[in-house]
Chains A and B, each alone.
Chain A
Amino acid sequence: EAAVTQSPRNKVAVTGGKVTLSCNQTNNHNNMYWYRQDTGHGLRLIHYSYGAGSTEKGDIPDGYKASRPSQENFSLILELATPSQTSVYFCASGDAGRQDTQYFGPGTRLLVL
């Protein structure tokens, strides 16, 4: 079974603070993704990566950075958190060669006050 973990699972941050969300996958998947999920919007893609060292902008990248230092780890960084970034964030991994599914992490609930 695919294993994607996220940390922290819950986070409260202050406006203007820096937040780093971490994702780790043990499946040796090339592709990794960061989404946010808000009521009425479904899941929206923020950043994604094709492999270590690569980051690509998704559909809503503004206010977010990403880092892929290794095959296993993909981080989402909010340099200056804002209340509008309060959301549930999901990380996912996928095998670019198979492209038959994405495996999701459990999600991180972020509240920006």
Chain B
Amino acid sequence: GDQVEQSPSALSLHEGTGSALRCNFTTTMRAVQWFRKNSRGSLINLFYLASGTKENGRLKSAFDSKERYSTLHIRDAQLEDSGTYFCAADSGGNYKPTFGKGTSLVVHP
């Protein structure tokens, strides 16, 4: 089965609200990355975590290797946050992450 299970697959938010995306791992991961694919198709690196939490503006991410999950919290969602979000996790050795299937986020006015 998939090593990285990402949920939800789709998410709709009104401007100003927030929610959380989650990735569960079927094996112990050493690190996780979160990306956003924007409307032009570019992949934007949001976070890299080997443990704990990181925050950047309205985004906050957490990674728990022992419990095998990572989350990405979005607060005060804006229209420009729309896009597809991916997590990617690495189980060790030379860095070769496995991606989740993505969460398609649409932020409505």
Which residues on A are within 8 Å of B, measured CB to CB? 31, 33, 35, 37, 40-45, 48, 50, 58-59, 88, 90, 92, 94, 96, 99-104, 106-107, 109
Grouping DSSP codes into helix (H, G, I), strand (E, B) and loop, the B interface class, with mixed when no group exceeds half, is strand
Which residues on B are within 8 Å of A, measured CB to CB? 4, 6, 31, 33, 35, 37, 40-43, 45, 48, 86, 88, 90, 94-102
Other-chain residue from B4, B41, B94 in contact with A50 (beta carbon distance below 8 A) = B94
CB nearest to A109 among chain B residues: B41
Return chain A residues, CB-CB under 8 Å to B96.
33, 45, 48, 58
Q: Contact at B41–A42, with CB atoms within 8 Å?
A: no
Q: Contact at B95–A96, with CB atoms within 8 Å?
A: yes
Other-chain residue from A41, A88, A106, A109 in contact with B101 (beta carbon distance below 8 A) = A41
